[in-house]
Amino acid sequence: MLLRSDNKYRPFILTRSAFAGTQRYAAAWSGDNSAEWGFLAVSVPMCLSMSIAGISFFGSDVGGFFKYPEAELMTRWYQAGAFQPFFRAHSHLETKRREPWLYDPPTTMLLRDAVRRRYALIDFWYTLFYEHSKDGLPVMRPLFMHYPMEEATFTIDDQYLLGDKLLVKPVVTQGATSVKVYLPGAESGTVWYDVDSYQAYAANGYMSVDVNLSKIPVYQRGGTVVARKERVRRSSQLMAHDPYTLVAALHGNHTAYGSLYIDDGETYEYKKNKYIYAKLSYSSEEMSYKFVNEKANFPTRSWVERIVIAGIKVPPKTAKLHQGDKQTALQMTLHKGNDVLVIRKPAASMAQPWKITFSY
């Protein structure tokens, strides 16, 4: 496959049979499953098992390979699959067609929403996989990996972490109106933010969360910054130079940290320092975007469209962007109901470092 492009393009290889070391060459999936709730439920611990065994690029056939998934099962499977490393709908040649647009309009809308949630985080996923290639840590992680002192996490295999930033609890039972979610980190004062509302929840073990058919519980850990792309496109290629929304979910000490990796997504030019790996940090005084390897660069046309700061208690009076020799005053909007500050259109280029300073 490398020879087909004169060793220019990275190949994509998918395998059903795998062994130690397969992760160096291929993605894998769980094999033939059925359109049944039990198969959806077991896909989560299967992904976790493969992840901690070293194979992170792993998922299951969304919707089930055999049989036909009715609307609720298909919806819940899309929602779960959208937050698993390998996301693919796939079925047997002789099963009934189940493309999203063949369902009733409300179901099609829900499936579309799940796909959009996935692609809004496409650069978050890409960064996780880059870091996985460097340090070997799984992309999808069991809770006990980051909270080894909490014995309750040892047996939890129906929810998980993406990196150390997002906590996901798929809904895998028919007719569910609520689910139990375990929020770890009580001893360290961890706060978790619902990614849909930015509502903050203090870590305190299990809590009951109401869910309707459009809701899957996903939380961002306080103290993290997550990069999102929220323009709706027809393909990921068209998103390559889209602007970013940076979501800083604050820890109790009013800080947050994150990372972002950018390259061309298809060649080996990154080996020639044609990439960006940057650290994002937020404090009460400033927010910064700094390159880890100052010798590396990539001519991205992406820029910062919006910065969302969740959990802010004392909002700044002014914010000023510093990039190169330019300084620009920025506009901010405070949503008092849930302590969210939005910095509107900072327009900072992601092709070079920048910082935003705050004054009170």
Q: Are residues 217 and 228 in the same domain?
A: no
Q: Are residues 124 and 13 in the same domain?
A: yes
Both tokens of 82, joined, read 């959208």
Q: What is the pLDDT of residue 338?
A: 80
Dist CA 105 CA 103 (whole Å): 6
Residue 184 lies in a domain: yes
Q: Are residues 337 and 234 in the same domain?
A: yes
Task: Measure the N-to-C terminal CA separation of the chain; round to a whole number of Å.
Answer: 57
Last residue of a domain, one of 134, 149, 178: 134
Residue 3 lies in a domain: no
Q: Are residues 247 and 353 in the same domain?
A: yes
Residue 4 lies in a domain: no
Q: Are residues 260 and 165 in the same domain?
A: no
Q: What is the pLDDT of residue 160?
A: 98
CATH classification of the domain holding 280: 2.60.40.1180
Q: Indicate the number of domains in the chain.
A: 3
Of 269, 257, 256, which Cα lies nearest the Cα of 298? Answer: 269
Q: What is the pLDDT of residue 206?
A: 98
Last residue of a domain, one of 161, 188, 221: 221
Residue 179 lies in a domain: yes
Residue 44 lies in a domain: yes
Q: Are residues 269 and 342 in the same domain?
A: yes
Q: Are residues 244 and 204 in the same domain?
A: no
Residue 2 lies in a domain: no
Both tokens of 226, joined, read 């997550």
Q: Which residue has the tokens 């960064």?
A: 127
Of 81, 86, 170, which Cα lies nearest the Cα of 128? Answer: 86
Q: Are residues 264 and 167 in the same domain?
A: no
Q: Are residues 150 and 254 in the same domain?
A: no
Q: How far is CA 224 from CA 75, 129, 249, 283, in A?
A: 29, 17, 6, 11
Q: Are residues 257 and 346 in the same domain?
A: yes
Residue 229 lies in a domain: yes
Q: Are residues 290 and 338 in the same domain?
A: yes
Q: Are residues 289 and 180 in the same domain?
A: no
Last residue of a domain, one of 134, 150, 182: 134
Q: What is the pLDDT of residue 319?
A: 97
What is the mean pLDDT, run by run of 10 residues, along the chain of 360 residues? 96 93 95 97 98 96 97 98 97 95 98 98 98 97 97 98 98 98 96 97 98 98 98 94 98 96 97 98 98 97 98 95 96 90 97 98
List the domain range (segments joined by +) for residue 172: 138-221
